[in-house]
Amino acid sequence: MSLASLAMYVSPAPIAEATRLFWEVLGKRIRGYGLDALRGARAAINEPGSNSGYNLFRAFVAPHAVDGRFFSSVKETGGHRASIDAVSSGEADVAAIDCVTFGNTLRFDPDRVAGVRILAETPRGPGLPFITGAATPARDLIILRRALSETIADPELAAVCDTLSLRGISLLGDADYEVLAELDREAADQGYPTIA
């Protein structure tokens, strides 16, 4: 049973394809935009196993790293909120935050991102998945998919879905997530196996 068999799509920010999200590189004290503005900055990352707070960020800067380095330092925060806070407080200069988290933070906690701005956009990746146990029986997976689809389609739950930024459900397979493994391999092949 695939863990990547169901993905939600959300839309607090413009998205070209419902199942492919982008991650925004945020900064507060950086002048300019794009990669040139980020070189030598202090980066905040979620943790090395994070796709949104690490893998796509690394893929974004890997082609421009010199001798395996791009940033002056890297701080592991443990999550998007902590990475946003690190940028806001000045502990870090930049962080990659998925557009869903950033959009919802703007919407529900705008003070947290006051003064923070979008500097760049990383490569797109598959939408955020709903994950269940690897041992979930196929019958239960069908029930879960149906329940989620019906919940999002229910007009009486529209306000709840809006609060959660849920817009729909798309079934994705392992092949849809292969792009993430490919980005990981490409970064390593470019001499940038870890964010540094």
117 and 132 together in one domain = no
14 pLDDT above the threshold of 50: no
Q: Are residues 59 and 143 in the same domain?
A: no
Does 45 fall in a domain? yes
Q: Are 126 and 5 in contact (CB under 8 A)?
A: no
Q: Is residue 5 predicted with pLDDT exceeding 50?
A: no
Nearest to 97 by CA among 46, 166, 39, 32: 46
Full domain range(s) for residue 154: 1-15+127-178
User: What is the tally of structural domains in the chain?
Assistant: 2
Q: Among residues 91, 130, 116, 128, which one has the least CA distance to residue 24?
A: 116
Mean per-residue pLDDT, 21-30: 69
Q: Which position has the higher pLDDT, 28 or 185?
A: 185
28 DSSP 8-state letter: S
Q: Residue 190: inside a domain, yes or no?
A: no
In a domain, 189, yes or no: no
pLDDT of residue 52: 82
Taking the CA atoms of residue 60, residue 64, residue 65 and residue 66 in that order, the dihedral angle to the nearest 10 degrees is 180
Q: Is 141 part of a structural domain of the chain?
A: yes
Residue 33 has pLDDT above 80, yes or no: no
Three-state DSSP state, 149: helix
Does 186 reside within a domain? no
Q: Are residues 11 and 28 in the same domain?
A: no
Domain check: are 117 and 33 in the same one? yes
pLDDT of residue 173: 79
Domain stops at, among 92, 123, 154: 123
27 and 118, same domain (yes or no):
yes
Domain CATH code at residue 103: 3.40.190.10
- More confident call, 90 vs 27: 90
Predicted confidence (pLDDT) per residue in 109-162, tens digit: 999 998 888 888 888 888 777 778 888 888 998 898 899 889 989 999 999 988
- Angstrom CA distances, 112 to 9, 12, 22, 74, 93, stand at 24, 17, 20, 21, 15
Q: What is the pLDDT of residue 175?
A: 87
Do 149 and 105 fall within a single domain? no
Q: Verify that 140 and 161 share a domain, yes or no.
A: yes
The model's pLDDT over 69-122, given as tens digits with 9 standing for 90+, comes to 999 999 999 999 999 999 999 999 989 888 888 888 989 999 999 888 888 888
Q: 191 lies in a domain?
A: no
Q: What is the mean pLDDT of the chain?
A: 83
Domain membership of residue 155 (yes or no) is: yes
